[in-house]
Structure 1
Amino acid sequence: MIKCSLERMSEKIHTFSKFGDAGHGGITRYSLSDDAIKARDYFKERMEKIGAIVTTDDMANMYATLPGTEPGLKKIVTGSHCDSVKNGGNYDGILGVIGAMEVLETIVAEKIPHRHDIVAMIWTNEEGSLYPPAMMSSGVVCNDYLPPEIAKNFKYENMMNSVSVEDGATTFGSKLENFKYKGDKKNRLNPEEYMCDFELHIEQGPILEDEGKTIGVVDCVLGMFNYRINFSGQAAHAGTFPMHKRRDALYAASQALIYLHDEIDKLGRPELVYTTGEIVCHPCVHTVIPDFVEFSLDVRHEDPKVLEAVREIVKKLPTMEWAGCKCEIKLAWERDTVYWNKTLVDFVQQSADEIGVANMPIHSGAGHDAQFVAYMMPTTMIFVVSKDGLSHCEPEFSSDEQCTEGASVLLNAILKADKLDDIEK
């Protein structure tokens, strides 16, 4: 088994952490920003230094290709994204880029023969922090292969019109037009030229740490749905309208939230997760009884039968009494569980075992670019343990040693794939 270099990994982790340093141990590195350019410049410099050929596509995705000995074979790609959420950490996304770089650098440093071209990749705007939605570029590039209900949300024209959440006068398309790394559409990832995809990532949760493992052998991205649930009542003066005559939409919504938690928990599925992360209250004035409240409900699980059981609970809401308010529900988003290619999953498992790093099978609850790529070609992921399970925040942390073990598993899994002429999807 070949091990990656702790020294090189540490150097890359430390250097990338400077691009968008927020001053509190983490970063804010929006896609297409000046700091994103600095990160890409560094990627390009290191990759060209080892002889990789760097190209970009029309979504500014970057590809650093290390030629193999058999040009007729399809390429193997690995990578992730270099953009972050606001006040995010130094590992989400960028670890997959660092790991991809390290794979190529190790192959060159150790003179490892490989048949296929091996490509390190940076996806543009995975987070969607400044220009929604998340996983924008992979949604565009993989659009022809996605289920229609997902593909419609990632049409190229719509993405170009995505408006900045911090500057309503700026769109993704206008920013992309003059971006340093915008390239040619012909360079996009495609199944005619590429055999398979690997993505290294931090877990972003506490399961590996709780189980005393360093590496997660990921088998799928969980299926999920997201509903918008709203309540319509009647606005009135907070000081003059009697309590028994009120139709308080916020009170109704709070009752519904408690009901949802109680009923969903009765299903007895501890692996089921659900979240209300967004609430809208109108008119949101302290002297006015709220007449409209809407909240989100995000539900995730591998088994579609479990998701359907939760959906039935949600569907009951409009038929029930909620403090005199009308309840309406609307499906905003859903996806089926996306399973990784079994051959590639096995390669990851074998590599982790052969290296001797503690590992376990695991699902991904979060979405990743790889889940869209999986509709296009054989794909899999590798997780590295996250300290305290924290991510999308500045305390996000995985040690240099843990990250290097992740890169080593990635390298050896790729070398196993390199022995094959092709992989069945």
Structure 2
Amino acid sequence: MYQCSLENMTEKIQTFATFGATGNGGITRYSLSKEAVMAREEFEKRMRKIGASIEIDDVGNIYATIAGEDADAKRIAMGSHVDSVLNGGNYDGILGVLSAMEVLETIVREKIPHKHPLTAVIWTNEEGSLYEPSMMCSGIVCYDYLPPQIQEKYHFEDMMDSKSIVDNKTTFGEALKRSGYQGDKKYRMTPEKYECIFETHIEQGPILEEHHKDIGVVDCVIGLMNYRVILRGQTVHSGTFPMERRKDAFYAASQVLCSLHEQIDALHIPGLVYTTGEVVCHPCIHTCVPDYFEFSFDARHKDPKYLKKVLEILKDCTKKEWSGCSCEIQEAWTRETVYWNQTLVSYVEKAARDLGVSYQYIHSGAGHDAQYLGYMLPTTMIFVQSKGGLSHCEEEYSSPEQCTEGASVMLNAVLMADMAEEL
């Protein structure tokens, strides 16, 4: 079994943490920003140093490839993204890129024989923090293989016209051209050129830490349903209109939300998670009773039959008035559970076991580029423990030792895939 270098991984983590550093231990590195370009340039410099060839496709995805013994063999890929959320951490996404770099550097440094060309990938705009939607450019690349309800979100022209949420003016296409990373469509990842892909990522949750495991052998990305719940009432003056005659949409929304929690919790569904993360209030003035209140409702579970039960409860909320307010729901988007290639999953488990690394099977509740790639190619993921389960924040942390273990697991799993007759 081969080991990646703790020293080299530590140095990479520290170096890439400087690109977009906030000064509070985290980063803000929006896709195609000058900070993201700095990270991309550092990636290219290091990959060229080990003899990798660099290709960039038409939506800015970067592919750094070292040759294999069989020039006609399909490539085996590894990678993730370098962009972050606002005031994010130094591990989400970028760890997958650093791990892919470390795998290629280790193979070159130790002259490890391999048949297939091996590729480290940077996917553009995974977070969608500045230009929506998330997983934008992996979605574009995998478009022909995605389910119809997902395809609707990733039309190429629409993505190029996606506007910055900061200035509501600059488009993704303009930012891509300005970045210098608009390459050629012929370099896109396709099943004709690629055998499979691995993505190493931090867990972004507390399960591995609570179970005292360093590595998560990921078997799927769980399905989700995302709805908008809308309450409509009547705006009146907050100081003059009698309480008993008010139709307060904010108050009504609170009743709906509490009812949802009570009913859904009563189902006692293991592994179900749900939340309300976004609200809209109108007119949002302290002297006015709100006539409109909208909140998001996001529920996730591996088994679609449980999500169906949750949806039935959600639909029931529309069948009555809440403090004089009407209730309606609108589907925002859904995704089915995406299962990873079982052969690749077995390679990850065997690599962890043979390396003597503590591990367990785990689902991913968050979305990743890998979930779209899984529709196109054999795909799997490797999770590294997250301290406190924290992610998308400056406190996000995984130790250099754990990050290196994740890279070492991926290295050996990739070598197993390299020797396989078929997946």
TM-score range relative to shorter protein: over 0.9
Give per-residue Cα distances to partners, 1:232-271, cap 9 Å, x unaligned: 0000000000011001101100000000000000110241
2:131 aligned with 1:131 = yes
Three-state SS of the structure 2 residue aligned to 1:154 is: coil
Deviation, structure 1 residue 178: 2.5
Alignment check: 8 A CA contact 1:195 1:422 kept: no
1:369 corresponds to which residue?
A: 369
Alignment check: 8 A CA contact 2:320 2:326 kept: no
Three-state SS of the structure 2 residue aligned to 1:121 is: strand
Three-state SS of the structure 1 residue aligned to 2:377 is: coil
Q: Which amino acid aligns with 2:415?
A: L
Give per-residue Cα distances to partners, 1:189-208, cap 9 Å, x unaligned: 11000000000000000000
Q: Which amino acid aligns with 1:386?
A: S
CA distance in 2, matches of 1:36, 1:353: 36
1:16 corresponds to which residue?
A: 16
| Structure 2 residue ranges without an equivalent (≥5) | none
2:74 aligned with 1:74 = yes
Three-state SS of the structure 2 residue aligned to 1:300 is: strand
Query: Which structure 2 residues correspond to residues 206-355 of structure 1 after superposition, within 5 A?
Result: 206-355=206-355
Alignment check: 8 A CA contact 1:25 1:395 kept: yes
Q: Which amino acid aligns with 2:364?
A: S
Q: Which amino acid aligns with 2:322?
A: W
Three-state SS of the structure 2 residue aligned to 1:41 is: helix
Deviation, structure 1 residue 321: 2.6
2:162 corresponds to which residue?
A: 162
Q: Percent identity?
A: 62
1:51 corresponds to which residue?
A: 51
Aligned pair count reads 423
CA distance in 2, matches of 1:422, 1:84: 35
CA distance in 1, matches of 2:63, 2:215: 26
Q: Which amino acid aligns with 1:26?
A: G
Three-state SS of the structure 1 residue aligned to 2:250 is: helix
CA distance in 2, matches of 1:182, 1:96: 22
2:412 aligned with 1:412 = yes
1:84 corresponds to which residue?
A: 84
CA distance in 2, matches of 1:224, 1:48: 40
Alignment check: 8 A CA contact 1:73 1:421 kept: no
CA distance in 2, matches of 1:46, 1:177: 24
Three-state SS of the structure 1 residue aligned to 2:281 is: strand
CA distance in 1, matches of 2:39, 2:153: 28
2:201 corresponds to which residue?
A: 201
CA distance in 2, matches of 1:323, 1:46: 62
Q: Which amino acid aligns with 2:46?
A: R
Alignment check: 8 A CA contact 2:24 2:394 kept: yes
Query: What TM-score, normalized by structure 1, do the two folds share?
Result: 0.99
CA distance in 2, matches of 1:297, 1:210: 27
1:181 corresponds to which residue?
A: 181
Give per-residue Cα distances to partners, 1:16-73, cap 9 Å, x unaligned: 0000001100000010011111101110011000001011000110000010001111
Give per-residue Cα distances to partners, 1:166-198, cap 9 Å, x unaligned: 111201011112322221000001100000000
Deviation, structure 1 residue 422: 3.4
Q: Which amino acid aligns with 2:256?
A: A
Three-state SS of the structure 2 residue aligned to 1:362 is: strand
1:38 corresponds to which residue?
A: 38
Give per-residue Cα distances to partners, 1:350-372, cap 9 Å, x unaligned: 00000000000000000000000
Alignment check: 8 A CA contact 1:74 1:422 kept: no
Q: Which amino acid aligns with 2:327?
A: C
Query: What TM-score, normalized by structure 2, do the two folds share?
Result: 0.99
CA distance in 1, matches of 2:19, 2:178: 20
CA distance in 2, matches of 1:165, 1:393: 19
| Structure 1 residue ranges without an equivalent (≥5) | none
Alignment check: 8 A CA contact 2:27 2:90 kept: yes
Deviation, structure 1 residue 74: 0.8
